[in-house]
Homo-oligomer: A and B are copies of this chain.
């Protein structure tokens, strides 16, 4: 089946935001075995949106739109899509109640329900209403004459859970062949290196296929097989995953789609009964924030110390004044003392410590922007690694976070307990 994406938003056309929804939805369609020939972005203009949806319906079975479902006058996606399909809008009492409830739970904030909000309770007659757990605009599925139009809210935090929870299972049922896939997630290895290591597998592939996706500091390999049922697809996938495990070894942190690097790390530390302190300078709390993404992280992470100032590094981590004076805050020695001190001052089994120059200022010839030291102490043993990252401040910090999690994982795997 052929699907087509239309992302709606003047802010995309103005270049205010990067269209990550299109990338996300494309990946999901690929997973579902839907063929995608076109992606279009259009603004909040009725005539142009109408034409775009009309054209898409002429050449594709399924049209997925995202954005423009909000309560404001600008938001015309629902009205326009319903008009193209020739379906009238009617009030959905279930959605009206849900919106009412949504605003009631917001009572701590200074937010009032305005007349605009009730426009979101209007839905195309007979449409499948997709509840939005993270906002007010419901998603909608319209079906008519062998064509399906799916409307999704624009904010990724609303779109993604709605797609995974409700749209994915719906589309899966439409597909004659089952497409099943397994994600092999790697850390501590670059994209080109990973691809080179499986070049032969990729060029010989038919079914299953292997598709590499580069993430910051990680590489994900999706192994996808098409078969009559899940079991048959699973039998095709198994030997490929086995071969990948053989080639990448400990670089693989999970083969479970939903598991993140931080989740696998928390699970590993729980299993080994290890507690953790994060000691962060240039990452500014981003490592502990990432670990706290994992529900139940509190069994492992006892505290995070964002020792941004030298004074804080001394006070909370016991970094020596002499060390800071002799070699500076961004140094192998300081990272070492931060990691060691993070364990000893707090009594946790492990500490991951980061100090570096994220830029744009603060760099010198000797210590350029992008220079980052990561120290890791597990069971009293400290390891420090030096990194040279490139990119802007945000990119350098993101890379530092993933490198820290990767180093911590590798130290824990080596640690005997």
Interface residues of A (CB under 8 A from B): 10-20, 22-30, 36-43, 45, 48, 52, 55, 70-74, 102, 105-117, 133-135, 155, 157, 161, 188-193, 195-196, 199, 202-203, 211-214, 216, 222, 278, 280, 282-289, 291-293, 295-298, 301-309, 311-312, 316, 358-361, 370, 385-395, 397-398, 403
Q: A293-B393, A306-B288, A306-B303 are in contact. Are A38 and B52 (CB under 8 A)?
A: yes
Q: Are B293 and A285 closer than 8 Å at their CB atoms?
A: no
Given contacts A157-B398, A295-B360, 12 further A-B contacts (CB under 8 A): A12-B26, A16-B214, A72-B212, A111-B193, A113-B192, A114-B192, A133-B391, A157-B395, A284-B297, A285-B292, A289-B306, A305-B306
Tell me which residues across on chain B come within 8 A of A202, comparing CB atoms: 73
Taking the closest CB of chain B, its distance from the CB of A298, in whole angstroms, is 5
Q: Are B15 and A27 closer than 8 Å at their CB atoms?
A: yes
- Partner pick for A312 among B26, B37, B303, B309, CB 8 A cutoff: B303
Tell me which residues across on chain B come within 8 A of A298, comparing CB atoms: 308-309
Q: A37-B13, A37-B48, A193-B112 are in contact. Are A308 and B312 (CB under 8 A)?
A: no
Q: Are B302 and A308 closer than 8 Å at their CB atoms?
A: yes
Q: Are B285 and A111 closer than 8 Å at their CB atoms?
A: no
Q: A108-B388, A134-B390, A191-B72 are in contact. Are A308 and B316 (CB under 8 A)?
A: no
In the complex, A49 Cα to B390 Cα: how many Å? Answer: 31
In the complex, A287 Cα to B45 Cα: how many Å? Answer: 38
Q: A41-B22, A211-B14 are in contact. Are A390 and B106 (CB under 8 A)?
A: yes
- Partner pick for A17 among B23, B48, B111, CB 8 A cutoff: B23
Tell me which residues across on chain B come within 8 A of A73, comparing CB atoms: 195, 199, 202-203
In the complex, A196 Cα to B203 Cα: how many Å? Answer: 57
Taking the closest CB of chain B, its distance from the CB of A358, in whole angstroms, is 8
